[in-house]
Structure 1
Amino acid sequence: MHEALKRYCSVFHPDIKKVSTLPFWFVKVLAVITRNQELDVVGQLMSYFEKVGEGGDPTEANHSLGAPTTTLNEWLEKRKARLGVA
């Protein structure tokens, strides 16, 4: 995900030179200080996913929805064209 975000920023926000992450404990502190319940919930959710990982088998989704056919590079190029980004 980090690499995908870096690639997205390089195309659509080239002024952003570095993509960084916050530790989850810091997100929780920010949520408390700012009284932002949504930030707290998102921080808890991301912390949970970091612990349990992303398991699963895409077979059922691929069967129901079809296998993914668009790569990140293809999506970036189509979005650039649609937005008229050079």
Structure 2
Amino acid sequence: MNWRRLYATFQIWFVVCLASGFGAGCNTVVVIGICRKLLGWSDGVSVFGAGIPAFIVMFIVFAKHLPKHLRKAGMLSDDPETFGPWFKRDSKA
């Protein structure tokens, strides 16, 4: 089994899911606040009626589009050799 590739895949999925969840969560709070203040909905209706569907939709959209931007920012890399010194081949061995 290629542990370097497994680690790279795990890191990419973890970072993308964490960033997507954080972004979708922050935007969902705004959506819930708008539903409560402007539409006059109660807490339960705004959270379950608008918040959870908005979170799910934004999470999927962010998970689909964020990897490109995270790679451009240098937070993701497909090459396991660039992750750190523990993956570089030892020339003495």
TM-score by length of 1: 0.23
TM-score, reference length from structure 2: 0.22
Could you say which structure has the greater relative contact order, defined with CA pairs below 8 angstroms and 6 or more residues apart?
2
Looking at CA atoms only, which structure, 1 or 2, has the larger radius of gyration?
2
